[in-house]
Structure 1
Amino acid sequence: MRLVIVEDNALLREGLVALLRERGIEVVAHAEDGDGLLRIVGGHKPDVAIVDVRLPPTFTDEGVRAALEARRRHPGLGVLILSQYVEPVYTTELMASGDGGVGYLLKERVGEVREFVEAVERVAGGGTALDREVVAALMRPQGAEAGDDVLDRLSPREREVLGLVAEGRTNSAIARGLVVTAGAVEKHISNIFSKLDLPAGGDDHRRVLAVLAFLRAAQEG
């Protein structure tokens, strides 16, 4: 796996470089702003870019905008967003922008090294890795009427399973967490695909589409 890092905080940036290299991940370049992201992605053709949401000069959403442009120029690029805040709208935009994997983690998760590295690997493989705080926020009831919410088609257990899929959990991990059989999880996921009208094809691709539907419905509610 070839990876680039874009983070304006030099201490965190160097810490990420050291942590990932210690675990055998090739960090080919790093930068501190959006222009730097586009430059190093174009020059090194990485599999994944780890990007801070808020970068110079205005520290608003430069990181996400640069990541969207990078995916436009380099289809299939995986993007793992790091943020201090729960702002899932960015994840929806990124997932809708191309075929590469997408992750959104709070910066504090970097300290959970094994889980963080697993999230990087999932994104590199084209999957999703959403922070549990992001998923929890999306699962909270909305104040207004949801209208024709696509997630209303799902049972409470299916919504719970979909939230765990959004975190990037495997079927076996979901089964362990819910204390059910792997077969029960497979049935729930099959029902989710059917109720969300997802086209037949690779299950990995449909998992990403299901997460995208989850994000969109939660934001429209």
Structure 2
Amino acid sequence: MKVYVFKSLPPFLWGYTRDLRAMWALEECGIAYEAVGLDCGPKGLQDEVEFGVVSPFRQVPAIDDDGYVLTESGAILLYLAEKSGKLIPSDLKGRAQVYRWTITSLNNIEPFSLPILFADLQGDSNPHLQALRPWHVEILDRFLPTIDQMLQAQPFITGADFTVADIILTCVLRELRKTEILARYPNVEDHRRRCEERPAFVKVLNAYEDRLGIPRGSAR
């Protein structure tokens, strides 16, 4: 299987890109893969016409499974789990919970965590985004307390087992890892840290830093 990932990035994006999600799932699922490195535009391979055939929006990650091409990190992770039979329950209701919490992370948390990240990265150069930051934090306060309470009673987002829903949630929470927000939710923060300590994630993050040619620890 080929997985399209970044091989160059501006420093402010180190550790935030979504190719980490796909590679983490590939490692956890035990699927052999070839990483195809792309440069982050505007003139890199990510913007070349050829990559547009693979990814219609020229976004990373994308996978090519023997000619079957798939984009969007959430769809990729669910596909990898279903293909391997790992990181997802075998029963319909159990799988539905993985779908549910994967979608929750992408639809209810990331639309507000990303603007917070961008506001912090851009600082005073984007006063409009800065002005909206408290509102985005307030919206997250609708969701994170419930998740924090859940994670007080169970180790992972769907229950006792680690699934692709935990990969998505962890990677979305990484967008907030340098903010003040997660300190208010100790169980959520503990979940993020525990998931990031998994050997598969450590391996992927090390390979990510090596591929980008950046010092160890730069993407943490």
TM-score by length of 2: 0.27
By relative contact order (CA 8 Å, sep 6+), the higher-ranking structure is 2
